[in-house]
Amino acid sequence: MKKIAIITCTGLLFSGMAATALAFTDVDNTNENSVAINYLADSGIVKGYDDGTFRPQQLVNRAEALKIILEGKKVATQDAASSSDFSDVKPEDWFAKYVMAAKERGIVSGNPDGTFAPGRNVSRAEFVKMILNTNSFQPQKWEGAQLFPDVQKDAWFAPYMNYAGQAGLVEKDNDGNLKPGEELTRGQVAEIMYIMNVILNGSNTQFLITQAEKQMAQIDIYVGNNNPLAAKRSSELGVDMTQQAYKNMPQDAVVLGAAKLARAYDFLMNAYISGVQKKTEDAKSWADQAIAKATEAWEANNEVQSIARHIKDRANEIIAQLQG
């Protein structure tokens, strides 16, 4: 059986010293999409600007979205039709080859008026449809159901957003909404691309463990930057990734330890958020569960003891503050 590597034995993972290497001058480790952006940059899927920036808050138009998706998937565009099916896409436009390659593959169909609207900012629903169609998504099984408050079952984007919401490709807000019409920034586009890659690599246990570690490494960074929601998102991703890794290799002690560690960190975040919300009993309960799960992680794999101890220390601090 292939050995799964884990870097937690260094004791540096959550000190910030082992945080994700930075690819762009304007994306530091406090950015909510930093793991996604740096992963995609390292993989050659996205590029920044000549000045070394990524501009994560900049909105993305439909032409740019297609380029990012097709180049990320390594879809050939050089043989795309030289003539355009859309009245607003000329053969000499820089984006024409991407639009026509996507049209030929059924990734996009354009608007009823015969336009593609390349310069219009891409919405979440449009981007999700593009990326899923690029990956041969079959929408039929996701039709006819309303799974989210703002995704009506008869909406054109319903099957795509239903899948995206269920699979974790996009995040729900506190009311369970997916916000299909919201225009996306470069950072948000990177996040969806990243999660899509995680889903596609669901059978690659080493990949899942590595990405889960990167997510867990962000938790303390986000908390220190007073962004508990981003920290909670990272803890949930860590759980999702390690649970899939555990399904792949349930007998591996390293994988089991990582799965329990991720769960302990998620419990710790629940304790932290409950404490902030003045839910004292809930915070105490979550902190106790974090301590218990961190102990289980340590017992499963002794190499995670330094981080398990870190989680237990933070949980005990929360309990002390609640009693104080």
> Rounded distance, CA 296 to CA 260, Å?
7
And the tokens for 118? 């390349």
pLDDT for res 11:
35
Helix 205-224 × helix 228-248 angle, to 10°:
160
pLDDT for res 83:
75
Residue located via tokens 């900012």:
121
Spatial contact of 155 and 96, defined as CB atoms under 8 Å apart: no
- Count the neighbouring beta carbons within 10 Å of the beta carbon of residue 144: 11
Spatial contact of 8 and 307, defined as CB atoms under 8 Å apart: yes
pLDDT for res 8:
42
pLDDT for res 22:
79
pLDDT by position in tens, the chain (length 324): 445 554 443 333 344 334 556 789 999 999 999 999 999 999 999 999 999 999 999 999 999 999 999 999 999 888 777 778 899 999 999 999 999 999 999 999 999 999 999 999 999 999 999 999 999 999 999 999 999 999 999 999 999 999 999 999 999 998 999 999 999 999 999 999 999 999 999 999 999 999 999 999 999 999 999 999 999 999 999 999 999 999 999 999 999 999 999 999 999 999 999 999 999 999 999 999 999 999 999 999 999 999 999 999 999 999 999 987
Residue located via tokens 């080859």:
97
Number of H helices, E strands in the chain: 11, 0
pLDDT for res 9:
36
Spatial contact of 241 and 34, defined as CB atoms under 8 Å apart: no
Give the type of residue at 2.
K
And the tokens for 289? 């569960």
pLDDT for res 131:
98
> Rounded distance, CA 180 to CA 165, Å?
10
Kindly tell me the burial class for residue 182, based on how many C-beta atoms sit within 10 Å of its own C-beta (0-12, 13-18, 19 or more): middle
- Among candidate residues 222, 254, 205, 149, the one with its CA nearest the CA of residue 158: 149
Kindly tell me the burial class for residue 201, based on how many C-beta atoms sit within 10 Å of its own C-beta (0-12, 13-18, 19 or more): middle
User: What global pTM score does this model have?
Assistant: 0.89
Spatial contact of 120 and 62, defined as CB atoms under 8 Å apart: yes
pLDDT for res 20:
52
Where does the chain have alpha helices with state H?
A: 34-42, 62-72, 96-104, 124-134, 158-167, 186-200, 205-224, 228-248, 253-276, 280-300, 305-323
And the tokens for 13? 């993972």
And the tokens for 85? 């099916």
